[in-house]
Amino acid sequence: MTVLVFVEHAAGEPDELSLQALAFALDFAGGNGVDAVLIGGADAASDLPVGTAHVAELDGGYAPQAWARAIAQLEPSVLVAAGSERGNEVLAHAAVMTGGALAANCVAAAPGDPAEVTRMRWGGSLLEEARIHGPVKLMTVAPHAVAPATAAGDPAVAPFTPELRDEDLVARVVERVDTSTGGLSLAEAPVVVSGGRGVGSPEGFAPLEELAGMLGGVVGCSRAVTMAGWRSHTDQVGQTGTKISPELYIPCGISGATQHMAGCKGAKKLLAINSDPEAPIMATADYAVIGDVAEIVPAITAELRRVSG
Amino acid sequence: MDVLVCVKRVPLTGGKMVLTADERGIETRHLGFTVSPHEECGVEEAVRLVEAHGGSVTVVTLGPPEAEEQLRDALAIGADRAILLETDGSDWDPESTAAALADVIAADAPDLVIFGNESADAGGYQVGIRVAHALGRPCVTGLKALAVEDGQLRGEQESGSARDVYRVPLPAVVTVKEGINLPRYPSVPAKLRARRKPVERREPERRDARLELVRLVVPEGRGRQAEVLGEGPSAAPAVVELFQRLGVA
Ligand SMILES: Cc1cc2nc3c(=O)[nH]c(=O)nc-3n(C[C@H](O)[C@H](O)[C@H](O)COP(=O)(O)OP(=O)(O)OC[C@H]3O[C@@H](n4cnc5c(N)ncnc54)[C@H](O)[C@@H]3O)c2cc1C
Ligand SMILES: Nc1ncnc2c1ncn2[C@@H]1O[C@H](COP(=O)(O)O)[C@@H](O)[C@H]1O
C-alpha cells in the first residue's frame, strides 16, 4: 500500500494545510511508502519527505476536474489531501474517477479494510467514527487537526503529462478579481469583537467598532445579525461564515449556538459579554461580564482611554 | 429556465449536541428543524433566477416523511414544485444520496442544479460533485455570486482576498455558499400558497454504504464555566486589566 498525498502549493512552497495532510498520511502509512502529487510546482516538491513526488504538467489556472483526472491517473489506493476548499473539491472529483469512497475532514485514521476514521460533522461540533470500505479510500484532513510534517526529504521528482478529456476543462478559473480591501481580515485579526442579536440594532455596533479599533482588531457578528440585514455576511463568524483564530475573542450579546462556536474554536481566549449568566456561551468562554452590552462596551472603551491617558 | 435545488433537513441544535442512546443520531425530541444556510441561499438564488428569466423552480430532498416541512419552507420562498425521496430517517452515505438524487434529476433535465457547498450535518463536501458526474455536466463549487446570460453561467468563488471567476455552458451543476444573497422572509400569503403546492413522493433504493457511520461522539468541552469578571459597567477596570495581561492593550 502506497499512500498518495495531493500537495497544494503557492510561490514555490507547499501549503501549510497540505503539510498537515502529509503528516497525517505518514502516520496512516506506518512503514509503508508515501508519495506526493502536485499540479505544477516542481520547486515546492523538491524537499518533501516522500518517496516520489509526481508533478503533473498542466497549463492554465485552477480546473478542479482536470486536476482530479491527473491525480486519478496515478491509480492511488489511498489518497489524502488537505481539508481546504480545493482539497475537498478535487478529492470529490477524484472519488468519482477512482470509484472510491471519500471521508472529508478527518481528524484521525487507522489503516485496514475497512479503514477506520474519525471525521468532523457540523463544522467540528460533532465527531463521527466511520469506516471506509472498498479498494480505493480517500480522506481529507481537517485543518489544524495535526501538526505539519517538518522533516525534509529527497524525493524522486517525476513529471508527467496527464491525459485529459475535453469535459475536464469546461469548469476552470478564467479570471481572478482582486477584492482585498487592504485592511485587516476577520480570519487573521489578533482581536475580534463580535456582536449578536443582543446588540439590538445596526447602530448598536458603533461602540463595538470603537473597542475593536482600540485593540487593533476587527468587528465580527453572528448569523442572527446577518439575517436581520444589520451587517454583511463577510462579518459572520461560524460554521457557514468565517473561521477565526484571534488571541482574544469578545462575543457580545451572542448566545453561543454550536454553529457560531464552530467558527471560533481557534481563539486563544474568549471573553463573553452577555446579560444572561446561563447562556450556553458561558460554558466555552474563559471570562465573562454579565450585563447589558450597550452599557458595558462603552464603559470599557472609556476605561481604556483613561488608563492610556 | 428550469432550476432544481437540493436541500437536506437537519436539526436546529442550539447550544449543545445531545446524542440518542444508540449514539448514531442527535436527540431531536425537543428540537426544531431547518436546512443549511447554504441551501436556503440556494433556494433564494433559484427563485431570483426564475423571476428574472422565467421558468420553474423544483426543490428536492432525500429524508424522512417529516422533511416535507423543509420542502414547504422552500415552496413558501417561491419554489413551484417539490419532490420528497422518502427514507426511514437513517443516515445515507454520500454515494447513495447522490445516486438517488441523480436519478430524479436526470428524469427532470433542469438547466441548472443548485446544491449547498456542504451539508450542515454530514459535511461530506461531495454530493453535488457526484451528481454532476452522474449527469455528465460541469460543476462549479462554493459560489458567492452567480449570473446567467445567453446560456452561459458566470460564477464567482472566494479565494483568499480574491475572487475566482468561472464561465460554463448550461446545463450545469453549482454549489453555493451563504452570503451569495440574503434570503427573503416568506410572507403569510406565500406560506398559505405553499401549503397547497404539490409534493411528489418517491421511494429511493438504498445501497450498502461505503462510508459507513459507526458512532457519533460529542467532542469534550472544557468542563468549566467562565470566570465572571463582574457585572455591568463597573466591570470595566477588570476587563482592561485582562487586556493588559493578555497583551492586547
Ligand atoms: C447549519 C447552520 C449553520 C449556521 N451557521 C452559523 C454561523 O456561521 N454563524 C452564526 O453565528 N450562527 C450560525 N447559525 C445560527 C445559530 O444556530 C444561531 O441561531 C445564531 O448563532 C444565534 O445568533 P445570536 O447568538 O446572535 O442570537 P441569539 O441566540 O438570539 O442570542 C442572543 C444573546 O444575546 C443576549 N442578549 C440579549 N440582549 C442583550 C443585551 N442587551 N446585552 C447583552 N446580551 C444580550 C441573550 O442573552 C442571548 O444569549 C447556523 C445555524 C445552522 C442551522
Ligand atoms: N439528503 C439530502 N437530500 C437532498 N440534498 C442533499 C442531501 N444530502 C446532501 N444534499 C445536497 O448536497 C449538498 C452537499 O452535501 P454533502 O456532500 O453531504 O456535504 C448539500 O448542501 C445538499 O444541497
Please indicate if any CB of chain A lies within 8 Å of the CB of B189.
no
Residue B207 CB neighbour total at 10 angstroms: 12
Distance (Å, whole) CA A42 – CA A49 = 14
Q: Which ligand is nearest to the CA of B90?
A: 2
pLDDT of residue B223: 75
pLDDT higher than threshold 90 for residue B220: no
Please indicate if any CB of chain A lies within 8 Å of the CB of B11.
no
Residue B224's pLDDT band, with cuts at 50, 70 and 90, is confident
How far is the centre of ligand 2, averaged over its atoms, from the C-alpha of A261 (Å)? 22
A144-197 per-position pLDDT tens digit: 999 999 999 999 999 999 999 999 999 999 999 998 888 899 999 999 999 999
A202-260 per-position pLDDT tens digit: 999 999 999 999 999 999 999 999 999 999 999 999 999 999 999 999 999 999 999 99
Total residue count of chain A as it appears in this document: 309
Mean pLDDT of B169-194: 96
Ligand 2 atom nearest the C-alpha of A92 is 17
Distance (Å, whole) CA A124 – CA B204 = 30
B137-147 per-position pLDDT tens digit: 999 999 999 99
Helix (H, G, I), strand (E, B) or coil at B66: helix
Is A152 in contact with A47 (CB distance < 8 Å)? yes
ipTM: 0.97
Please indicate if any CB of chain B lies within 8 Å of the CB of A245.
no
Residue of B68, B83, B91, B127 to test ligand 2 pocket, by largest number of atoms within 8 Å of CB: B127
Residue of A126, A260, A293, A300 to test ligand 1 pocket, by largest number of atoms within 8 Å of CB: A260
Q: Which of B 83-102 lie inside 8 A of A, CB atoms?
A: 93-95
How far is the centre of ligand 1, averaged over its atoms, from the C-alpha of A221 (Å)? 9
Please indicate if any CB of chain B lies within 8 Å of the CB of A76.
no
Ligand 1 atom nearest the C-alpha of A239 is 8
User: Atom 1 (ligand 2): residue with closest C-alpha?
Assistant: B62
Work out the burial of residue B195: count CB atoms within 10 Å of its CB; fewer than 13 is exposed, 13-18 middle, 19 or more buried: exposed
